[in-house]
Amino acid sequence: MKEVNASIITIGDELLIGQTIDTNSAYIAQELNRIGIWVKKRIAIGDIRSEILDSLEDQSRTAQVIIITGGLGPTADDITKPTLCVYFDAQLVVNEEALQNVKTIFQKLNRPLIERNLKQAEVPDKCTVLPNRRGTAPGMWFEKDGVIYVSLPGVPNEMKGLMEDSVIPRLKETLELPAVVHRTLLTSGVGESTLADTIEAFETALPPHVKLAYLPAYGLVRLRLTGRGAPREKIEEEVSNLFEQLKPQVKEWMVADEDIPLQEAVSRLLRARGRTMATAESCTGGYIAELLTARAGASSIYNGSVVAYANAAKEELLGVRHETLESHGAVSEETVREMVAGARDRLHTDYALATSGIMGPDGGSDEKPVGTVWIAVGNARRTIALKHFFRFGRDRNIELTAHNALTMLYRFIREEEGE
């Protein structure tokens, strides 16, 4: 079965100057990939007619599907619709369904409807209109010389609604699509070079239609197997079998055999064992608590956090002894051990973790330079602590500390629970 390739074009000066972060491309790529369309290129361009036209012409040479987002608003800098009229030799006409949608939205909002808003219902006469149930700008579907073009609003919520309601179903109906099957596992505490050396023979033996990708990020590496072809059932079985061969080869570092965040792996482990945890954070400033509570249901495993940044807070809120801080300092093995005990005791949990360090850019010393971090995890039976040195900027050091702490806790729980 022939591969179907796609290009994503995001339009807007705000994307190029970094004022707006492009999350649309990532979402669109994921949704296309789910149905077997492979995204070959993602392009961001400004609100310049010639660049839009050149990009459409260039991408049409290699892509069978081109998704465009942005530039469909009611202001003068939104030039996508007039530019599409040039590209498709079309003219703007009022679409009655889109017009009624605009009127209904403004009526519900009890806002005055001006001529500029009514222009949202104008579309090129060569397109099929895709109703926007979340906003005023409709989506537009074009076909030209065997290529499908879809223009969507840049507002993420509206774009997602159109992708779900119209674009994905229509693509599946229109195109004969191969299966694209992914299986992903998560490792922690190992670099991608070490992983590559460990599984070199496995990777070399993979069939041509199955690829292995290394996806590193802040002390974590995801390994993703991707198989493409048909029929889907055969590809799914083949990728699953290869995935099961891969898992034991990286067992030492694997924390999840699916594509989930590290904090979710910790949460699931605690939930499966009926255990609870707490955090005592100094240098991470509550970041670990934020990670753990980002998903609903965290209250079943997570009792809370004490963000004890100052030494006085460590003493008063966590029961760290004044003598410990005086003798060893806040960034020390002795302090994080007492932070663990205090968090577990005061928040009444089975497990706790603690962090204390110097994140930078200043505050270090010869004895404890910037990037020095102590992490401890423990339960009623025992506590362990490890010292780390991180060499990056403040934000990355905080993320690395959080991921190392969660990895340490995950492995500690597994040891304590007899796995």
What letter represents residue 351's amino acid?
Answer: Y
H or E element: which one contains 38? strand 37-45
At 118, the pLDDT band (50, 70, 90 cuts) reads confident
At 174, the pLDDT band (50, 70, 90 cuts) reads very high
User: What would the mean pLDDT of 108-131 be, rounded to a whole number?
Assistant: 85
CB atoms within 10 A of CB 122: 18
Please determine, for residue 170, whether its predicted confidence score (pLDDT) is greater than 80.
Answer: yes
Q: Regarding the domain delimited by 179-256, which CATH topology (the fold level of the hierarchy) does it fall under?
A: Alpha-Beta Plaits (3.30.70)
Please determine, for residue 1, whether its predicted confidence score (pLDDT) is greater than 70.
Answer: no
Contact 335, 314 (CB under 8 A): yes
Domain at 262-416: CATH code: 3.90.950.20
Helices (H), 96-199: 96-109, 115-118, 156-162, 168-174, 192-198
Three-state DSSP at 61 gives coil
Q: Which residue has the higher pLDDT, 112 or 262?
A: 262
Q: Is 165 exposed, middle or buried (0-12, 13-18, 19+ CB in 10 A)?
A: middle
CATH class of domain segment(s) 4-174: alpha beta
**Residue 385: per-residue pLDDT:** 98
Please determine, for residue 230, whether its predicted confidence score (pLDDT) is greater than 90.
Answer: no
The pTM score is 0.77
Tell me what the pLDDT averaged over the chain comes to. 93
At 294-322, the pLDDT tens digits run 999 999 999 999 999 999 999 999 999 99
Write down the domain spans for the chain: 4-174, 179-256, 262-416
Q: Which of 91-100, 146-155, 402-411 has the lowest mean pLDDT?
A: 91-100
What is the sign, positive or negative, of the torsion defined by CA atoms of 294, 295, 296, 300? negative
Contact 139, 152 (CB under 8 A): yes
User: What would the mean pLDDT of 120-133 be, rounded to a whole number?
Assistant: 92
